[in-house]
Amino acid sequence: MMRRLVAGCALAGALALSGCWRPSWRSVQPGSPLAPDKVVLVGSFVSVPPIQQRGNAPQRSGTWVNGRYEPPGRVIFVGEQEGNVAALFTRDLAQKWDQEALGAPLGAYDAAWIPMEGPFFIEVDRAPTLYLRGVLYVTDGGAVKWELPARLDLRPQDRIVYVGEVRVVRTGDRRVLVKDEHVATRRAAEELGMSQLTGTWTVRLLKTLAEPVAAR
């Protein structure tokens, strides 16, 4: 389960977040062995329009220190916050989704970092059913959390499961599309040196359950 959530150092007070964010599930790295008790989920994530982590904060004036102007500081994203979103999972729908970024106890979710754009390879616990509930990410204007409910059924023999390209359209007719792009994703895995993922992939796409809630 999630241990703690990190906000960027400069945002800690504003977001009421502190410490280091440690996801419960890890991303598979090139050459790393696969754990026999885990299932590897392979897919890709795309946001339309792309997520912008900077340029969201209101313009703040600097301060005068000893007669010298000091411009406002640059937000520092901690660990893997920059360029990634936290994908939040549960094993059932008992935990009600709270759209507020800090509304629901984050310890209720399992989580993994996935890129804001591009392929992901994550190890997850074996379970009959997993729900991708949504994502959470940090910008220089605060934490953003939005719902992306989708269901994935796993089988005991599953080893590497391709779950699809998750394309989130966040403007206009907001919607989530899941497409089968496993050929392109396998090619990307090879280019990234993921030799441990050269075996047979089971293609079982995530099944979306509802319209996503618009990000704030």
Mind listing the pLDDT tens digit of every residue in the chain (216 residues)?
Answer: 333 333 333 333 333 333 455 789 999 999 999 999 999 999 999 999 998 888 776 666 555 556 665 556 566 777 788 899 999 999 999 888 877 655 555 667 899 999 999 999 999 999 999 999 999 888 887 788 888 889 999 999 999 999 999 999 888 888 889 999 999 999 999 999 999 998 999 999 999 997 554 444
Task: For residue 16, tell me if it sits in a domain.
Answer: yes
- How high is the pLDDT of residue 21? 57
In a domain, 214, yes or no: no
Q: Evaluate whether residue 213 is within a structural domain.
A: no
Can you give the pLDDT at residue 144?
83
The CA dihedral of 25, 113, 109, 132, to the nearest 10 degrees, is -100
Residue 65 in domain: no
Would you say residue 101 lies in a domain? yes
Instruction: Look at residue 216 and tell me if it is in a domain.
Output: no
pLDDT of residue 212: 52
Q: Cα torsion at 132, 194, 117, 186 (round to 10°)? A: -80
Report how far Cα 74 is from the mean position of its chain's Cα atoms: 23
How many domains are contained in the chain? Answer: 1
Show the domain range for 166: 9-53+71-208
Q: Is residue 215 part of a domain?
A: no
78-116: buried (b, 16+ CB within 10 Å) or exposed (e) per residue? Answer: bebbeebbbbbbbeeeeeebeeebbebebebbbbbbbeb
Predicted pLDDT of residue 13: 30
Does residue 3 fall inside a structural domain?
A: no
What does the alpha-carbon distance between residue 177 and residue 165 come to, in Å, rounded to a whole number? 8
pLDDT of residue 155: 96
